[in-house]
Chains A and B, each alone.
Chain A
Amino acid sequence: MREDLLWVEKYRPKRIMDIVGNEEAKTAFVNWFKNAHRTKKAVLLYGPPGVGKTTLVNAAANEFSFRVIEMNASDTRSEKAITRVAGPAVAFAALDTFSTESKGNVLFMDEVDGIAGNEDRGGVSTILRIIEDSRVPVIMAANDPDIEKLRPLKKVSALIRFYQVRIPMIISLLQEICHREGIKAEFEALERIAENSRGDVRSAINDLQSLGETTKTLTLQDTVALSARNRDVSMDETLRRFFSVKSLQDASMLLSYSNVDYDDLLMSIGDNLPLRFTNPEDLAAAYNFVSRADMYRGRIGVENWHLLRYFFNSLAEAAAVSPESYQPFTLISPPIRVITLFWTKGKRTALDSICAKIGQRCHVSRATAKTDFLPFIKILLARNKADDVVSWLELLPEEAEFISKMNRL
């Protein structure tokens, strides 16, 4: 029976000294963390994924008896959301210092480079204000610190760089896990896994678990599938194999070794299901599993990758609803939503330009212009009473025609 606990979680270091690699970064972080009179109230840990940034924060908080208040990229990090979470963490700092169990809070914002878009509007400036006002340590982590948006945060933070973990260190760690799990692994097999991970400890441990969980011996031959994963298998090929699988296990294996974008995969599977399952009951059952996968994808975000297994399992169950009914069919790829966006790009650009003009003239956002103003302009155009408004908004004749011909606003 497959063990349910991920080895990444099972062997996650609890102490700072147990974290593999990046000794200088660990020392710099601990020095910053322990210093009560730190010159910079915030620290930005940056480096590639899977090298121990989040683990270090949790391990340090655990060792120094701090409680971590965490916000990661799966949370919306708008001004309001950050203030709601971080505000109390900062405000209750003084009360917490009286507790013998906790020395206070640590505010940890993971994946700050992911703060973008309308939903995170005001996020960076709010973080800056919190850093300024905060009486607790503020820790941020990012994979790419060079994006323009992070420049203000970098100015007020101590910067600690994390590097890829080296191959010998990963091999040594894998040897230790094999020893604890009672797996006899060939050195070359572990070497292949470590090389394949490209310095990402998390992916190396996941690979080891996927290969070694069901067997007590691991040979170089067993790792051939890992090389296949590094190959760029197209979405088309992944879907073709996915829909023709014979068993749940085959589907799980295929998905865990595929490199395609998970969101595109989910949409493509959803679009192609009616072509694959002609029986309505099978189709309903398959959609049920896909909807569950969609739910897990939402919960994964860009941080909770430990849920990826459930995402894959749900999709695999959808593929394996009735393997015997498989008939070859012509796939739709890319997903319908992407095709629709492509075909409507011209229309969306025109609409955006009109809304921008209205917004500028009426001092409202484009979204407000679209929802609150455009329907009335369309009514005026239909009644031939829009000449004054159109000239005041400086809309071109073709733009006025576009509005009047639009079916849905």
Chain B
Amino acid sequence: MHTELYAAANQGNLPRAGLNMVVLDPAHGGTDPGARGAQGVRESDLVLDLAFQVRRALEAQGFQVIQTRSGNENPSFDDRSAMANAQRGAVFVTLHISSTGLPGTVRVYAQPDMPSGLTTGGILSWDFAQAPYLTLSRKFGDAVQGQLAQRFRGSPGNAQIASVRQLRTTAAPAIAVELSSVAVEDRSELDKMMPGVADAIARGLLAFRPSYVLPVAAGAQP
């Protein structure tokens, strides 16, 4: 838990490479099914299908994609973050299906304000790895949410703020995307949403790409 990221931030050594990679995180898996619908649909299965579609849309735009899981495994929150934290020039997208909410809507979440996470010596604390990326994450979130609002009526126009556990330890621009919901009568209603969600994420990321300038010092907000 308290492994530390070697950001070497004060030396200005953070990677300056452009955005070229997306770490996709289909949430839950293994013994954790996530949200479950009355019809037996499981969030863990749905987000895996969604991830494959998002992956295709991103790869079509020239992004490199890695997934935190490709089957029915359940890596820990830290293991999933670690996959993103090991990359340069990456953004992180965790995919969810909710139990509640207006069916057919999609919300994007970014992390709330948090302590700088920087210890003396420029080492970024694992527990607050998201801290230097808050502004970028919100910008990325707004870009994707804007695309989603055009496709899914009733979705908000801007990204929401929530303390999502998965985002806190991720040292990259990071968002959670949540579709409503497993309460639909038929899973085909969710399947129909997936291409639109995938396209919105890919277009939102393209729109965000010019803003992707990594923080000069990990403690400072760009």
Q: Is the pairing of A and B real?
A: no
Interface residue ranges, B against A (CB under 8 Å): none
Interface residue ranges, A against B (CB under 8 Å): none
